[in-house]
């Protein structure tokens, strides 16, 4: 199964083109029946979205890659568990969040609290990294990493993954009102961080 997820760029482009013709829900049904091609198509369509979400949540690109593989392996084994009460993309991100939090708890030296997030964002001694972080998009990501994890994942889901409050509540497993509160506080904190970095928070969104 691991080899299924190791797609070449050419193969990936072909699969994405094919996947656009098949609804996510139909792919899940096929996966539940043991169709390996269906999981390849689902992976081609959603793996980058899942990776970006986990990467922002953990601040660790290598861990994010491992978790992405784990997510689609879980889909392969548990596709029959999917109930069409939410979109497939929402279900995938919920699985990814659960696995990311579990992985972080296992890595006691990688707890993603505010201090650790700041350390990740400031680790830029290499000239190439410094030049990269000097770009506007890198600064925005840096500010996002400085948010508390509970606020960062809400901002990420709503603004970067375009999830509704209801969908976000399902992914994170909290009431809708809590989502709204964290979103407001996260936006306020993000606006201050962007201002301190010399970035217009309105243009940054």
Overall pTM > 0.75: no
The pLDDT of residue 189: 86
- Check residue 198 and give left, alpha or beta (phi > 0: left; psi -120 to 50: alpha): left
CA distance 202 to 125: 30
The pLDDT of residue 71: 93
The pLDDT of residue 68: 93
The pLDDT of residue 47: 94
The pLDDT of residue 121: 47
The pLDDT of residue 112: 41
Domains parsed from the chain with CATH numbers: 1-109 (1.10.1740.10), 113-205 (1.10.10.10)
Cβ-contact 81, 94 below 8 angstroms = no
| Paired tokens of 145 | 């990493």
Mean pLDDT for back-to-back runs of 10 residues, the chain (205 residues): 45 51 90 92 94 89 90 90 85 92 72 47 46 59 84 86 88 90 86 75 47
The pLDDT of residue 88: 92
The kind and range of the H/E element at 139 are helix 136-145
């Amino acid at each position: 199964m691991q080899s299924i997820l190791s797609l070449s760029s050419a193969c990936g482009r072909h699969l994405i083109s094919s996947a656009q013709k098949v609804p996510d829900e139909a792919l899940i049904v096929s996966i539940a029946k043991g169709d390996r091609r269906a999981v390849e198509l689902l992976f081609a369509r959603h793996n980058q979205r899942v990776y970006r979400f986990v990467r922002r949540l953990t601040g660790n690109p290598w861990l994010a890659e491992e978790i992405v593989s784990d997510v689609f392996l879980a889909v392969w084994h548990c596709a029959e568990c999917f109930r069409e009460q939410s979109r497939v993309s929402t279900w995938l991100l919920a699985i990814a969040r659960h696995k990311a939090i579990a992985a972080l708890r296992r890595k006691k030296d990688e707890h993603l609290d505010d201090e650790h997030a700041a350390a990740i964002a400031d680790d830029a001694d290499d000239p190439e990294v410094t030049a990269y972080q000097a770009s506007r998009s890198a600064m925005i990501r840096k500010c996002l990493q400085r948010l508390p994890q509970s606020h960062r994942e809400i901002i990420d889901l709503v603004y970067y993954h375009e999830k509704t409050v209801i969908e976000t509540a399902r992914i994170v497993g909290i009431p809708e009102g809590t989502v709204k509160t964290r979103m407001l506080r996260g936006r306020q904190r993000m606006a201050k961080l962007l201002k301190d970095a010399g970035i217009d928070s309105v243009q940054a969104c």
